[in-house]
């Protein structure tokens, strides 16, 4: 049995707890949250205001799941790692590259596993797109477009409004698509970004980012905090066909590949339907990696690299010019 301590019982913390409650090999042994909220299925005596109190009271903790605001990740990752607990940490890994590097190093030094919650890799449409890209059904891919939109996130202490804490739209929301594209197409060579609304606008932000990959793929990543309804889409264009996803459609995923002079639909949503929550799939995968010492789909180094690209994009719209990426994290 894997004993898990969850830090933070907001929206994401509750989502993780519900997933763990469905697993036969996992037990949520405690929740740390300053507000001590009520979570269904968790006894009141398992709530703690302080991480140290939980450690003292609970005995053996195998995993600490960090679902706290981004700027608190480093502090509690260090505490968890030095207590020899494996770590599952919500994305982004940290609020600065320096902090992300320190988290990775402290976990390596203490020989504990670190998993980062980039859940988009576990959405069926995105994982299927990755498989289709790897199968080279499109021929040479030259252009990709992604879009992600939601309302401005409301959370404890309004911490999303402080961009030093949250990283704003790029680090918090668009990093999903940055990670997905890097998963599919590898290393980014250069970044060019346009921030349509300046950072001082608290509740609305629109950003467009151009990513140029070393393999020749050009990607346009756009998104905003501007609408009440969450929606996301992508389009992958190749010489031999294209793949389109639109979360607002009844059949969201559409793949067409050339056969002679015509285009033929060869995949749709019904063929890849995944009845499981991607959060359950993700966390179940990480638990399996802990138990069986498997390599995770998402590595800490990849999480670091996605952060690096997001910060390069922030720098790009600040200076109004292209930013070139240096070599990967080692």
84-100 pLDDT, tens per residue?
A: 999 999 999 999 999 99
Residue 2 has pLDDT above 90, yes or no: yes
pLDDT band of 273, cuts 50, 70, 90: low
| 182 and 87 within one domain | no
Note down the domain range covering 141.
120-274+305-324
**Cβ within 8 Å of residue 274, ≥6 positions away:** 123, 124, 281
Query: Which residue is it, tokens 């959405």?
Result: 123
pLDDT surpasses 70 at 284: yes
Question: 255 with 317, same domain?
Answer: yes
User: What is the CATH number for 77?
Assistant: 3.40.50.720
Looking at the predicted structure, is the pLDDT value of residue 196 above 70?
Answer: no
Spatial separation of the C-alpha atoms in residues 257 and 240, rounded to whole Å: 6
> In this predicted structure, which of 79-83, 281-285, 311-315 has the lowest mean pLDDT?
311-315
Under the phi-then-psi rule, with left for phi > 0, alpha for psi from -120 to 50, and beta for the rest, what region is 114? beta
- Of the candidates 117, 147, 179, which is a domain's last residue? 117
For residues 76 and 60, give the distance between their C-alpha atoms in angstroms, rounded to a whole number: 17
Domain boundary among 97, 117, 137: 117
pTM for the whole structure: 0.91
Question: Does 177 map to a domain?
Answer: yes
Domain end among 66, 89, 117? 117
What is the predicted pLDDT for the residue at 259?
57
**In this predicted model, what pLDDT tens digit does every residue of 56-73 receive, in sequence order?**
999 899 999 999 999 999
Q: What does the pLDDT look like over 156-171, one tens digit per residue? A: 666 666 677 767 888 8
- Asked whether residue 282 carries a pLDDT value surpassing 80, the answer given is yes
Res 37: pLDDT: 76
Q: What is the pLDDT of residue 303?
A: 98
Higher confidence at residue 139 or residue 280?
Answer: 280
- Residue 240's SS3 state is coil
Instruction: Kindly state the average pLDDT of the residues 123-132.
Output: 91
- Point out the least confidently predicted range of 79-93, 155-169, 227-241, 309-323: 155-169
């Amino acid at each position: 049995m894997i004993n898990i301590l969850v830090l933070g019982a907001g929206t994401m913390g509750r989502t993780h707890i519900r997933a763990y409650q469905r697993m036969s090999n996992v037990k949520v042994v405690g929740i740390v949250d300053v507000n001590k909220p009520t979570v269904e299925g968790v006894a009141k005596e398992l709530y703690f205001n302080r991480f140290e109190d939980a450690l003292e009271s609970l005995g053996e903790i195998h995993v600490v799941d960090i679902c706290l605001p981004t700027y608190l990740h480093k502090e509690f990752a260090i505490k968890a790692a030095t207590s020899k607990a494996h770590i599952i940490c919500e994305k982004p890994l940290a609020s600065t590259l320096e902090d992300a590097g320190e988290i990775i190093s402290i976990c390596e030094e203490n020989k504990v596993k670190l998993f980062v919650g980039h859940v988009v890799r576990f959405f069926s449409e995105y994982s299927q797109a990755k498989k289709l890209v790897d199968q080279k059904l499109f021929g040479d891919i030259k252009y990709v477009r992604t879009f992600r939109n939601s309302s401005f996130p409301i959370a404890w202490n309004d911490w999303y409004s402080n961009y030093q804490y949250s990283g704003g739209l790029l680090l918090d929301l668009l990093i999903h698509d940055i990670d997905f594209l890097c998963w599919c197409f590898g290393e980014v060579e250069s970044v060019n970004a346009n921030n349509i609304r300046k950072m001082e606008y608290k509740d609305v932000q629109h950003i467009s980012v151009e990513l140029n990959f070393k393999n020749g793929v050009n990607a346009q990543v756009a998104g905003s905090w501007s609408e009440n309804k969450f929606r996301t889409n992508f389009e992958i264009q190749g010489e031999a066909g294209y793949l389109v996803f639109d979360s607002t459609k009844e059949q969201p995923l559409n793949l067409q590949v050339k056969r002679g002079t015509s285009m033929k639909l060869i995949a749709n949503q019904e063929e890849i339907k995944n009845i499981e929550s991607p959060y359950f799939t993700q966390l179940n995968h990480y638990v399996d990696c802990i138990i069986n010492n498997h390599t995770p789909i998402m590595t800490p180094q990849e999480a670091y690299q996605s952060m690096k690209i997001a910060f390069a994009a922030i720098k790009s719209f600040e200076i109004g010019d292209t930013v070139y990426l240096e070599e990967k994290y080692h």
